[in-house]
Amino acid sequence: MKVAVVGATGLVGTIMLEVLEERNFPVSTLYAVASEKSVKAGKEVMFKGEKHKVVGMQDTINNKPDFAIFSAGGGTSTEWAPAFAEVGTVVVDNSSAWRMDPTKRLIVPEINADVIGSDDKIIANPNCSTIQLVMALAPLHEAYTIKRIVVSTYQSVTGTGVNAVRQMKDERAGVEGERAYPHPIDRNCIPHCDVFMENGYTKEEMKMVNETRKILQDDSIQCTATAVRVPVMGGHSEAVNLEFEKDFDLADIHQLLSETPGVVVEDDVVNNVYPMPRYAEGKDDVFVGRIRRDESKEKCLNLWIVADNLRKGAATNAVQIAEFMVEKGLVKSQGVGA
């Protein structure tokens, strides 16, 4: 397979290259795509022990890659994804550009990969916070039917990008530098992820609401979210309260989540075992713990969900989509490129 990674020099793009290599995705030719500025600067990336010079968008399109995995922002995806699709390339896009387009699939492979068809040329990768949320919720919704979700997120600075990581490191070192946030992030919590909308919620919060309904294929689910940026690296954490149509047994919840592919239950409070972003970093699983009844209301459950937002929340999920399409024969190689 000829594979293009668009945004290859960015934080998520770098992880995408690592995941492609780790999972031994069948890459015959790699196109590391970056901005014209990076191309002119002669930037390089490493893949399978070899250096690859970054290349431009149009040159890559001319080579007709089989897959183009995008992590370069919504504007870039809106402009260039259709051009890739036109030459037969399957685009897996990590931005929010196509997620709520009713003609595009929004995919978490463990949940709804079966809806992908050979005609789908632009496939949306969900928001990182949404991915880890629905990984835990999908089996519970199937068993008990979720009526309402209340979720509060504690999101890693890596979700904002390399500039945010630099800001936090600068602050910890006492160095004045460029800010990614309107306030200091070290020793602080900022209840502001993405831009504010007219309804008072941020775009990140509304992504979780709308994407969750689309992935679980149930618009009747009531959902409300509060997204908070916290001074950690390693992953996003979520405190989740669920209200079900049917009652449940806690032992059954434990068993159901334990049997869900891609989900790991860490829930032994007697021995201080629960998910934490420090230990989720670099892993592809979604970790669930603090599983307990909401004693203030019937048929309600509390969960604590943690995952590495750069891996399962972005890069790994995107590569898994490509793997599924190859496995099911939905993508045929267009020939070995230069």
User: What's the CATH code of the domain at 299?
Assistant: 3.30.360.10
Q: pLDDT digit string (tens) for 22-67? A: 999 999 999 999 888 888 778 899 999 999 999 999 999 999 999 9
pLDDT at 39: 81
Q: What is the mean pLDDT of residues 230-250?
A: 97
% of the chain at pLDDT higher than 90: 94
pLDDT at 41: 77
pLDDT at 335: 66
- On whether both 318 and 204 belong to a single domain, the answer is no
Q: Are 334 and 328 in contact (CB under 8 A)?
A: no
Residue 121 lies in a domain: no
Cα–Cα distance, 325 to 319 (Å, whole number)? 10
- On whether both 156 and 37 belong to a single domain, the answer is no
Task: Select which of 52, 128, 141, 300 is catalytic.
Answer: 128
Mean pLDDT of the chain: 96
- On whether both 54 and 71 belong to a single domain, the answer is yes
- On whether both 239 and 254 belong to a single domain, the answer is yes
Residue 105 lies in a domain: no
- On whether both 138 and 273 belong to a single domain, the answer is yes
Residue 116 lies in a domain: no
Q: What is the DSSP letter of 269?
A: G
Q: What CATH number is attached to the domain comprising 90? A: 3.40.50.720
Residue 286 lies in a domain: yes
Residue 281 lies in a domain: yes
Kindly state the tokens that stand for 85: 């699709």
- On whether both 230 and 209 belong to a single domain, the answer is yes
Using DSSP bridges, classify how beta strands 146-155 and 300-307 pair: parallel, antiparallel or unpaired. unpaired
pLDDT of 160 > 70? The answer is: yes
- On whether both 200 and 265 belong to a single domain, the answer is yes
Q: pLDDT digit string (tens) for 97-132? A: 999 999 999 999 999 999 999 999 999 999 999 999
User: In terms of residue numbers, what domain contains 27?
Assistant: 2-97+314-327
- On whether both 285 and 320 belong to a single domain, the answer is no
Q: Describe the strand order of the beta sheet including 236-244 as a list of residue ranges.
A: 222-229, 146-155, 236-244, 300-307, 286-293, 263-265
Residue 151 lies in a domain: yes
- On whether both 319 and 261 belong to a single domain, the answer is no
- On whether both 55 and 194 belong to a single domain, the answer is no
pLDDT of 324 > 60? The answer is: yes
pLDDT at 332: 81
- On whether both 46 and 84 belong to a single domain, the answer is yes
Clarify whether 192 is annotated catalytic.
Answer: no
pLDDT of 334 > 90? The answer is: no
Task: Select which of 141, 193, 223, 236 is catalytic.
Answer: 236
Cα–Cα distance, 21 to 225 (Å, whole number)? 35
Residue 107 lies in a domain: no
- On whether both 293 and 318 belong to a single domain, the answer is no
Beta-carbon contacts of residue 302 (< 8 Å; ≥ 6 apart): 239, 240, 241, 242, 290, 291, 292, 293, 294
Total domains present in the chain: 2
Clarify whether 300 is annotated catalytic.
Answer: no
Give the model's confidence band at 333: pLDDT under 50 very low, under 70 low, under 90 confident, else very high: confident
Give the model's confidence band at 95: pLDDT under 50 very low, under 70 low, under 90 confident, else very high: very high
Residue 119 lies in a domain: no
pLDDT at 338: 45
pLDDT at 336: 52
